[in-house]
Amino acid sequence: MSDHHSHEDIEAVKRKYIIIFLALIVGTVFTVGAYFLEIHSVALTVALALFIASIKAFLVAGYFMHLMDEKKMIYGILASTVFFFIGLMGLTIWAMHDMPPTTQFH
């Protein structure tokens, strides 16, 4: 197997990165444009900001950090994170009303 890539392969990769870069610029324009919108709901403002930021973060992490190519490892890490998060939340809820007998509340 050769480590050399054809000119067409390199051009396709360059094109992909240019498209992702342009999408990030459009996302930044949306972010700045959203600042000028008069949204009276704080929840809607936060939801819009998180939506735009999530898309931009996905593009950066997925393509520029090459995480789209590491799906098996990413899903394994995600599954273990969810497992430990659920475990810690379960322990927190289980111990929520289990105060030591000498605890004083003010």
- 1 in a domain, yes or no? no
Q: Residues 25, 60: one domain?
A: yes
C-alpha span between 65 and 73 (Å, rounded): 14
What is the torsion angle, in degrees rounded to the nearest 10, for the CA atoms of residue 54, residue 60, residue 66 and residue 68?
Answer: 30
For residue 3, pLDDT beyond 80: no
Distance of CA 49 to the CA centre of its chain: 13
- 102 in a domain, yes or no? no
Q: Residues 51, 32: one domain?
A: yes
Name the residue among 69, 55, 47, 61 with its Cα closest to residue 23.
55
The overall pTM is greater than 0.75 = no
Q: Residues 61, 15: one domain?
A: yes
For residue 2, pLDDT beyond 70: no
Q: Residues 12, 48: one domain?
A: yes
The predicted structure's pLDDT at residue 71: 80
Query: What is the residue range of 85's domain?
Result: 70-96
Burial annotation 20-29 (CB, 10 A radius, 16+ → b, else e): eeeebeebee
* Residue pLDDT, tens place only, 41-96: 989 999 999 999 999 999 998 888 887 878 888 889 989 999 999 999 999 998 88
- 103 in a domain, yes or no? no
- 101 in a domain, yes or no? no
Please state the domain count of the chain.
2
